[in-house]
Structure 1
Amino acid sequence: MRSARFEREYAAHYKSIFTYALRRTTDVQDAGDVVAEVFLTAWRRLDDMPEGPQGLLWLYGVARRTLANHDRARRRHERLAAKVQAHSASPLLDISAAHDSAGSVAAAFGRLRPDDQDILGLVAVEGLTPAEAAEVLGCTAVNARVRLHRARARFARELGAEGIDL
């Protein structure tokens, strides 16, 4: 019974969780690692996982926390690499990226705080309502709407800094 429920949840939600993780990591292998950890957590805590559509929201919450852990590990790795590079004799290559409109939007989005990126991504990309996003983020629906409003305003300012008018 337990394995049958897990298989149903996995089949129903794998694609949503994978695409969410892929958008947050931009690397297929990292996204796969995140999804594996999310569903490992789901297996371990299957009794805590709500039934029905609430289960997907629960999985998004697990994925969000798993991604945060991966991000912290990536930053630790980058700090270590920077220390190693500082002690290395080889010069760094200066590579400049071309700025097209998609790159400008991505740059503006990248300058937002992670909390702003979370709420905007959950609503705009994942298609959740503010109330559903609130459940994923662990806050009230009112708080989620306020966070969404403020995140949209900050994003608009960042887009303006990139020369993109709304």
Structure 2
Amino acid sequence: MDDAERRARFEELFVANFRPLLGYAARRMTDATSAADVVSNVFLVAWRRLDDVPPGDEARLWLYGTARRILANHHRSERRRSALVLKLGAHVTTHAQTESTELAVDLIEALEKLDADDAELLRLTAWEGLTPSQLAQMWGIPATTVRTRLHRARRRLRRELSGNAGPDPDMRQTTGASPLEISREDT
């Protein structure tokens, strides 16, 4: 299938299925923005795997199946996040709630000051519950590299939180490559 045929097939799938999929997602989500995100992800998967999308009426079923899996992933993430919030909330006293809120704000501000790759690595481990081994598999790099980068990201976060955000002794002079990309120095 050439590019023009792929584009035409995708547009046909999109036009025929966008509204029904948005309704499906909206009935299962708490807000319209999240439902739209789910549908966007469905069509992203469809574009990437267009050759796997069956022809005719089966295409809609394939898209619904993809939407169901994306919704399940979203709900799993939300349950994990809610469980973490409840777990953390159980340890917070009423007196400490103000301090907890201030700490959360400080933490968010510190994460925003970090390199985007460090912040993403910390979020994936803390909020999404992914292990260094899972991240290594996802990124295609050694688990030891992920553990080292996680250790350094945590140290940089602690420095940001303590207000000692000077030059980072761990940062090497690089060619501008993303810290999540493996370099010759990491092998």
Name the TM-score, length of structure 1 as normaliser. Answer: 0.52
- Aligned identity (percent) is 51
Q: Specify which of 43, 48, 51 is matched with residue 47 of structure 1.
A: 51
Report the counterpart of residue 57 of structure 1 in structure 2.
Answer: 61
Instruction: Supply the AA of the counterpart residue of 1:90.
Output: T
Unpaired runs of 5+ in structure 2?
Answer: 98-187
Q: What SS is found at the alignment partner of 2:54?
A: coil
Within 5 Å, give how 1:15-164 maps onto structure 2. Answer: 15-90=19-94
Q: For the aligned residues, what is the CA RMSD?
A: 1.7
User: Taking CA–CA contacts closer than 8 Å with sequence separation of 6 or more, which of the two structures ends up with the larger relative contact order?
Assistant: 1
Name the TM-score, length of structure 2 as normaliser. Answer: 0.47
Instruction: Supply the AA of the counterpart residue of 2:20.
Output: S
Whole-angstrom distance in 1 between the partners of 2:25 and 2:65: 11
Q: What SS is found at the alignment partner of 1:88?
A: coil
Q: Specify which of 11, 16, 19 is matched with residue 12 of structure 1.
A: 16
Q: Higher Cα Rg: structure 1 or 2?
A: 2
Whole-angstrom distance in 1 between the partners of 2:81 and 2:31: 16
Pairwise CA distance, 1:68: 0.7
User: Over residues 35-64 of structure 1, what are the superposed CA-to-partner deviations in whole Å (9 max), with x where a residue is unaligned?
Assistant: 111111100110111122111111000011
User: Over residues 73-119 of structure 1, what are the superposed CA-to-partner deviations in whole Å (9 max), with x where a residue is unaligned?
Assistant: 00000011101211222399xxxxxxxxxxxxxxxxxxxxxxxxxxx
Whole-angstrom distance in 2 between the partners of 1:33 and 1:11: 17
Unpaired runs of 5+ in structure 1?
Answer: 93-166
Whole-angstrom distance in 1 between the partners of 2:75 and 2:14: 24
Pairwise CA distance, 1:14: 0.3
Q: What SS is found at the alignment partner of 1:25?
A: coil
Count of residue correspondences? 92
Whole-angstrom distance in 1 between the partners of 2:65 and 2:87: 33
